[in-house]
Chain A
Amino acid sequence: MRVSFTLNGKAVSLEVDPSARLLDTLRYSLGLTGSKEGCGEGECGACTVYLDGLPVNSCLVPTFQARGRRVETIESIDPASLAAMVESGATQCGACTPGVVMTACWLRRHPELLSSHTARELMAGNLCRCTGYDGIVDGIEASMKKGRC
């Protein structure tokens, strides 16, 4: 079936199998390999992208559900905005990093969420086996002060 949506600000339209997951469409049909598959069942967050501005696990989104919507991936994030996270040790092996950065940047764009939630609660859907999370949380706090993603 044909699916059209906005990807990182540009219109895309392609033919996909009805069973295709957004994660596979991004990686294998559109060549955006930044989003990773950790678990394929919604637990780890390595595949996090924004759908209409909200973080979602792209391994749990059938591609056809993106029709007419806005999809943003890790490729849309300016690497220069991540300096504070790199300095705080928010990344080691890097497997979780694209997903961590997506959720962290969403939080940075919505500082009002921190009046009801902690950064840790909002980051709970991004599992990391290396950093012990403190580096991630410190990096978010440091980069909140420095401005937008």
Chain B
Amino acid sequence: MLTPTTVDEACEMLSRGGAAPTLIAGATDVLVHWPMNLAARDRAYVDLSGVDSLRGISWTDDSLTLGALATYWDVVRETRVGREFPLLVSAARQVGAVQIQSRGTWAGNIVNASPAADGVPVLMAYDAVVVMRSSSGVEEVRLDEFYVGYKKMRRRSDQLVTAVRVPRRAHDVQFFEKVGARRAQAISKVGLAVAHSGAGWRVVAASVAETVRRCRAVEGMLERGEAVRSVGDVVSALRQDISPIDDVRSTAVYRERVLARLIYHGLRGVCPGFS
């Protein structure tokens, strides 16, 4: 167990070679599969909780920065986030329950890379950027380009996520929907985050593909202002974007149908072209 107190120290520990070390932030994903005997493992564990510079939320003129240790509860409690990025607050309040929100981090949600994550879709809808550090320097990757396959991402094992940066823009449309078996402590069957700003439409879906992803065919349809008169019109575009499966939580048919309806009913009366 390694316990760095600075980012430099943590990066040095990650660059030592051998099996990729497991980083631990809020531990709400890592502890669920916690080995009873760490010493028997071939890998190192690096605890980030003592790296104080990774804590908290900060603002500049053009962006909001969530430190790698910023939790859901940090976001819920910061009223300014609620004003400028309401989807971050609505997603945070739907993660697990308070005991998970107080520990779970946005960076942990990103690197855990679950297709059913709730933090990832809202960050992606706001064009968030993942900031990473390693002994060889800083790299920034847009969240919508971060995932390359199921639990595969553009992060090397020696890279530490130090922050998530979200550009500040005025949004005239934004909503987040999570459909789960119950309101709290449920993993989503379908998730949807939609945002519109000067940068265009963002339609991000969760639990309907190998990764959380932007639905670019649907976005294109919205950008062009195409007439959308029924749920069926959404489905035809959506089929180019998603590849839902049957699993323990839901079925492919249910997921496609519900996602299309969430998009259609969420944008009707809001987006020109929808009737």
Residues of A within 8 A of B (CB): 1, 17-19, 21, 41-43, 45, 48, 51, 54-57, 59-62, 64-65, 67-68, 103, 116-117, 121-122, 124-127
Tell me which residues across on chain B come within 8 A of A59, comparing CB atoms.
31
Q: Which chain A residues border B31 with CB–CB below 8 Å?
A: 21, 42, 59-62
Q: How far is the CB of B34 from chain A (nearest CB, A)?
A: 7
Residue of B nearest to A126 (CB): B97
- Measured in the bound complex, the distance between the Cα atoms of B50 and A67 in whole Å is 9
Chain A residues closer than 8 Å to B3, beta-carbon distance: 64, 67
- Given A19-B34, A43-B185, A60-B31, A55:B99 Cβ within 8 A: yes
Q: A56 — which chain B residues lie within 8 A by C-beta?
A: 99, 102-103
Check B98 against A64 for contact (C-beta < 8 Å): no
Do B28 and A125 touch (CB < 8 A)? Answer: no
Contact partners of B73 in chain A: CB under 8 A: 54
Partner of B28, one of A54, A60, A64: A60
A125 pairs with B100, CB closer than 8 A: yes
User: CA–CA, A51 to B99, complex, Å?
Assistant: 10
B47 contacts partner chain A, Cβ-Cβ < 8 Å: yes
Q: List 10 A-B contacts (CB under 8 A).
A: A18-B39, A45-B99, A55-B99, A56-B102, A61-B103, A62-B31, A64-B47, A124-B184, A125-B97, A127-B185
Which residues on the B side are within 8 Å of A122 (C-beta)?
98
Among A18, A42, A103, which residue has the most Cβ atoms of chain B within 10 A? Answer: A42
Q: Are A19 and B38 in contact (CB under 8 A)?
A: yes
**Across chains A and B, which 9 residue pairs bring their CB atoms closest together, nearest first?**
A125-B97, A124-B184, A18-B1, A54-B102, A19-B38, A124-B97, A125-B99, A60-B31, A57-B99
Could you tell me the distance between the alpha carbons of A62 and B30 in the complex, rounded to whole angstroms? 10
Min distance, Cβ A76 to any Cβ of chain B, angstroms: 17
Q: When chains A and B are docked, how far (Å) is the Cα of A12 from the Cα of B117?
A: 37
13 further interface pairs, Cβ-Cβ under 8 Å (given A18-B38, A59-B31, A67-B50): A1-B1, A18-B45, A19-B34, A41-B32, A42-B100, A54-B102, A55-B99, A61-B31, A61-B103, A65-B47, A68-B50, A103-B99, A124-B185
Residues on A with C-beta less than 8 A from B32 are 41-42, 60
Q: How far is the CA of A1 from the CA of B50 in the complex (A)?
A: 15
- Bound Cα distance from A125 to B1, whole angstroms: 30
Cβ-closest chain A residue relative to B31: A60
Q: Which of A41, A51, A122, A125 has the most CB of B within 10 A?
A: A125
Please tell me if the beta carbons of A60 and B35 are within 8 angstroms of each other in the complex: no
Bound-complex Cα distance A121 to B32 (A): 23
Interface residues of B in 171-192 (CB under 8 A from A): 183-185
Q: Is B245 an interface residue, CB under 8 A from the partner? A: no
User: Does B109 reach chain A (CB closer than 8 Å)?
Assistant: no
Q: CB-defined interface of B100-130 with A at 8 Å, one 1/0 digit per residue?
A: 1011000000000000000000000000000
B93 within 8 A of partner (CB): yes
